[in-house]
Amino acid sequence: MRAILCIKGVYKSTMSTMSGGPELLRTLLSMNIKHRRKVLGFSQAKLAQAAELSVQTVNDIEGCRIWVSDKTIVKLAQALKVEAYQLLVPFFEAGKGGENEIPRSSAVEILLTLQQKIKNEIDLQFYSILKSRVL
């Protein structure tokens, strides 16, 4: 639930521009780590130990408060038994079965919000072009 609130906060702060990329990636990373950690039955402390990170770092990543290096993403992915790229996409699958999938409602929310942002930006650009030609 907290990840969804984090997503809404990201979108509220970036709805007016098309530059929501870093925030979106941070949110996806947070959601995927949290979900996969819970699937594996890991606490933040256990994940931190497995990934050779501090508990505070794991907490900050899951809370969308910090961005991490590629090396840290690789460490987290190895500890969570997934490929690194799978932590940065709306859905990931680690083997067969659906228990490793991010809840579809969260991914649908992300995709619908992105779709609306793109539509709004296109409308804005189209309006600007029309306005410049009329004047």
Q: What residue segments make up the domains of the chain, in order of their start?
A: 2-134
Architecture of domain 2-134 in this structure: Orthogonal Bundle (1.10)
CB atoms within 10 A of CB 5: 10
Reported pTM:
0.56
Query: pLDDT digits over 80-102, tens only?
Result: 999 888 888 875 444 444 444 55
Distance CA 23, CA 29 (A): 10
Q: Quickly tell me which residue has 């409308």 as its tokens.
A: 123
Q: What average pLDDT does range 28-51 have in this prediction?
A: 93
Cα 69 versus chain centre, distance: 15
**Which of residues 119 and 56 earns the better pLDDT score?**
56
Q: Quickly tell me which residue has 């991490």 as its tokens.
A: 68
